[in-house]
């Protein structure tokens, strides 16, 4: 899809067939290479957590495109040169090292990481968690896992509402496991 500020247009489709021997990444690169853009306007390629491979990101950067992608929580970061999964790294982040960001009615704690990730030497990663979890638990890893695993806003709304009522995080977790 190609989006303007007010409209979206389909621009390319490819049928993925495992037996054909071409990967989804190769098909994505093929579609991006067919996109004709105005060099004076920035292009942002958005992708979910299955697509941000080194090969695809480098293809985007070669065309001058910016990449915004979800990362899996097991993605390896290299803070101070030490390899660690994002979900493990989140355990060491304290709320004072984050910024409070509001999106619609939801508030998040966001940590800005800039450096290497597995496969890329220079990246910016924003680790985010639901504000109420960060404040009540002092640990961003649970909030990060929740954001990665949620299927819709209902879980986020449930946790947010429960946290506003000062329900302990352990009780919230138990209720989530029962649901």
Asked whether the predicted pLDDT for residue 155 surpasses 50, the reply is: no
Tens digits of per-residue pLDDT, 37-59?
Answer: 888 888 888 887 777 888 999 99
**Share above pLDDT 90 across residues of the chain, in percent, rounded to a whole number:** 12
- State mean pLDDT over 156-167: 57
Find out whether 87 and 141 touch, Cβ atoms under 8 Å.
yes
pLDDT of res. 134 = 44
Find out whether 57 and 49 touch, Cβ atoms under 8 Å.
no
pTM of the model: 0.63
The residues facing 44 across adjacent strands are: 66
Find out whether 160 and 144 touch, Cβ atoms under 8 Å.
no
Residue in 134, 158, 138, 156 with CA at minimum distance from that of residue 147? 156
Tens digits of per-residue pLDDT, 81-125?
Answer: 999 998 899 888 888 888 888 877 777 888 899 999 888 888 888
Token pair of 28, please? 């994505």
CA dist 118 to 10, 53, 83, 96, Å?
32, 9, 9, 27
pLDDT of res. 125 = 87
pLDDT of res. 62 = 92
């Amino acid at each position: 899809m190609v989006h303007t500020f007010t409209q979206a247009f389909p621009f390319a489709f490819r049928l993925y067939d495992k037996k054909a021997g071409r990967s989804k990444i190769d098909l994505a690169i093929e579609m991006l290479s067919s996109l004709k853009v105005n060099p004076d306007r920035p292009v942002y390629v958005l992708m979910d957590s299955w697509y941000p491979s080194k090969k695809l990101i480098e293809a985007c950067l070669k065309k001058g495109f910016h990449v915004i992608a979800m990362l899996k929580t097991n993605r390896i970061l290299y803070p101070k040169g030490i390899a660690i999964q994002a979900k493990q790294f989140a355990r060491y982040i304290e709320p004072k090292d984050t910024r409070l960001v509001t999106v619609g009615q939801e508030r998040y704690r966001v940590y800005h990481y800039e450096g290497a990730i597995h496969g890329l030497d220079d990246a910016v990663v924003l680790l985010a968690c639901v504000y109420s979890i960060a404040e009540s638990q002092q640990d961003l890893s649970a909030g990060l896992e929740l954001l990665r695993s949620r299927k819709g806003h209902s879980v986020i709304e449930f946790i947010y509402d429960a946290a506003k009522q000062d329900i302990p995080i352990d009780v919230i977790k138990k209720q989530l496991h029962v649901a």
